Amino acid sequence: MDVSAATGTAAVLLVGLSFRSAPVPVLEKVSLADTELPKLQLAMLETDAISESLVLSTCNRMEFYTVANAFHSGLDHVVDTIADFSGLPMEELEPHLYVHYADSAAEHMLNVASGLDSMVVGEQQIIGQLREAYQQANEIGTVGRTLHDLTQRALHTGKRVHSETNIDTAGASMVSFSVDKALDRLGVDKNDQAPMNNHRALVIGAGAMASLASTYLGRLGIDHVSVANRTLSRAENLASHARQAGVSATAVPLTDMPPVLGEVDIVVSATGAAGHVVLAEHVAAAREQQGAQDKPLALVDLSMPRDIEQAAAELPQVHLLNIEELTTMAGESVEDEDPARSIVKEELESFLEQQRAQAVIPTVKALRKKAVDLMADELLVLERSTPEMSAEDRQLVERSMRRFVDKLLHTPTVQAKRLSAGGAHVSYPDALAALFQLPTGAVQSVTEPNSATASVARAGNLGSAIRVLNNNAQVNTVQINQAQDNQGENS
């Protein structure tokens, strides 16, 4: 494919990092608190090269979707903005970036929304995370027509994949996957009818992931769930939902959370906070107070940056599972992956065809306006040169000229949209013949400028190869340091 996934000359430019391309410490530094994301998205627009921005932030992925009016200056600005907000030097940041442009960026978002680029392939949670990212960007005004159309198509594609294939038959999500691994550390058989019977849990946070954790623990037969959150009302709301589902649950403010650590068997933390919420000293003190030093405790940290201090894993009988460790456990082979990719391919082709058709609309409007203006000029000349002509005759002439213009432009208007949607490359004379449906050979051939595949490099510090994959010098897919495409994430 060789066309822009954007309206007009602008194209979608994606710069990202995921658990596939970057180690957790780098991801952790690039990840921002929820309150900082709007500032970053607005900062992306502080250049004429970028007109839209949307940031998808999950526990193991940071992706910066923008609409670039100029590739090189747009890429420079996006990378510089990421570096400024993360505080990472360029030499530490750039080796871990992957870049997609135009139709490759559109394809990537469709794969992400379908769970095909996830740590747990086929998980559905990413659909909600993408929807939330879009809603936030829309609220602050950084999303326009291009990212709106792409995001809606990606969400639609993700829903199709999950409803028309069995890619998520196992019901795995990042939450269920990580909790299942935690049960293994506790020596609990998750295949039992109620494996978490006689166990207690602490869920820290009150967002979507915390809610999923509470629900999943309830399905496993947990005896009691304590929900801790900085805003107590949100914790109470989540606890209330758990009780409605038949699970015993209570809410505590985050400040009262440490003592609870000595009473539970499993902790799932997903707050999105900027710093550690659970310290090793919290865990040690609580377990000593409850006399639980010899009881196994599983700590599941689904946040980026991390919620739970790494030193907690050094305590006796304490097992810490964070994104770094979970990454090494996740598999990639799932049922119905090929049919899912076929749906993505179908939706991508439809989307790109739609975008190409929309891209020609401004030109068609300009053509019609030009024709109407010329007709108005000619009518004015006619009026001045034929003062004796009656008003009725002038109206007849004007109607006749309007019909002539409409008939003359109807075919090229329809053909321009059709040819653009098809994405075909034709020579100037062939294009003219096609637009007006002229007989073959009716238009004298003209010399077409030579086009060639070009190699370009990022103006700045990106020294890695950037490949241009079509024959009209338009950048289509960019790879930085051969960061792997079509690999995964979830959070």
Q: How confident is the model at residue 312 (pLDDT cuts 50, 70, 90)?
A: very high
pLDDT at 13: 96
Residue 215 domain flag:
yes
Write the CA distances from 78 to 19, 63, 88, 124, 163, integer angstroms: 20, 11, 14, 28, 35
Residue 239 domain flag:
yes
Statement to judge: residues 182 and 245 lie in one domain: yes
Q: How confident is the model at residue 421 (pLDDT cuts 50, 70, 90)?
A: low
Written as one letter, the residue type at 25 is: P
Q: Which of 277, 311, 329 is the last residue of a domain?
A: 329
pLDDT at 485: 40
The mean-pLDDT minimum among 9-13, 14-18, 95-99, 153-157 falls in 9-13
Work out the average pLDDT over 30-40.
88
DSSP state, residue 315: S
Write the CA distances from 203 to 60, 311, 405, 462, integer angstroms: 19, 20, 69, 42
Question: Does the structure show a pLDDT above 80 at 1?
Answer: no
Task: Report the CATH number that the domain containing residue 101 is assigned in CATH.
Answer: 3.30.460.30
- From the candidates 37, 50, 59, 182, give the one annotated as an active-site residue: 59
Q: How confident is the model at residue 104 (pLDDT cuts 50, 70, 90)?
A: very high
Statement to judge: residues 15 and 163 lie in one domain: yes
Question: For the chain, what is the mean pLDDT?
Answer: 81
pLDDT at 65: 98
Percent of the chain's residues with pLDDT above 70: 80
Residue 232 domain flag:
yes
* Residue whose pair of structure tokens reads 């594609």 in the numeric block: 157
> Is 78 among the residues known to form the active site?
no
Statement to judge: residues 207 and 353 lie in one domain: no
Residue 179 domain flag:
yes
pLDDT at 450: 38
Residue 376 domain flag:
yes
Please tell me which residue, 87 or 490, carries the higher pLDDT value: 87
Question: Does the structure show a pLDDT above 50 at 201?
Answer: yes
Of the segments 28-37, 92-101, 442-451, which one has the largest average pLDDT value?
A: 92-101
pLDDT at 28: 84
Residue 304, SS3 per DSSP:
coil
Work out the average pLDDT over 375-396.
89
Question: Does the structure show a pLDDT above 60 at 150?
Answer: yes
Question: Does the structure show a pLDDT above 70 at 12?
Answer: yes
Written as one letter, the residue type at 385 is: S
Work out the average pLDDT over 241-247.
91
Q: How confident is the model at residue 64 (pLDDT cuts 50, 70, 90)?
A: very high
The mean-pLDDT minimum among 66-70, 168-172, 439-443, 452-456 falls in 452-456
The pTM is what? 0.67
Residue 444 domain flag:
no
Residues in the chain: 491
- CA 457: distance to chain centroid? 25
Write the CA distances from 57 to 304, 424, 429, integer angstroms: 9, 37, 48
Statement to judge: residues 203 and 57 lie in one domain: no
Q: How confident is the model at residue 482 (pLDDT cuts 50, 70, 90)?
A: very low
pLDDT at 362: 73
Statement to judge: residues 231 and 282 lie in one domain: yes
Percent of the chain's residues with pLDDT above 90: 46
Statement to judge: residues 79 and 26 lie in one domain: yes
Q: Which of 310, 329, 348 is the last residue of a domain?
A: 329
Residue 265, SS3 per DSSP:
coil
Domain membership of residue 25 as a residue range: 11-170+334-358+454-467
* Edge-to-edge strands, sheet with 248-253: 248-253, 224-229, 200-204, 266-269, 297-301, 318-321
H/E stretch holding 104 reads: helix 103-113
Statement to judge: residues 44 and 179 lie in one domain: no
Phi, psi (deg, nearest 5) at residue 302: -105, 20
pLDDT at 118: 85
Please tell me which residue, 479 or 424, carries the higher pLDDT value: 424
pLDDT at 330: 65
What's the domain count of the chain?
3
Phi, psi (deg, nearest 5) at residue 136: -65, -45
Statement to judge: residues 180 and 264 lie in one domain: yes
Statement to judge: residues 134 and 265 lie in one domain: no
CA distance 297 to 287: 9
Statement to judge: residues 192 and 298 lie in one domain: yes
Query: Which of 264, 244, 130, 116 is CA-nearest to residue 186?
Result: 264
Query: Which of 298, 341, 294 is CA-nearest to residue 319?
Result: 298
pLDDT at 455: 30
Write the CA distances from 242 to 38, 196, 235, 339, integer angstroms: 31, 15, 11, 36
pLDDT at 157: 97
Statement to judge: residues 266 and 146 lie in one domain: no
Statement to judge: residues 32 and 96 lie in one domain: yes
Do you find a cis peptide bond into 305, omega within 30 degrees of 0? yes
Q: For 341-357, what is each residue's pLDDT tens digit?
A: 999 999 999 998 888 77
Residue 480 domain flag:
no
Residue 325 domain flag:
yes
Q: How confident is the model at residue 448 (pLDDT cuts 50, 70, 90)?
A: very low
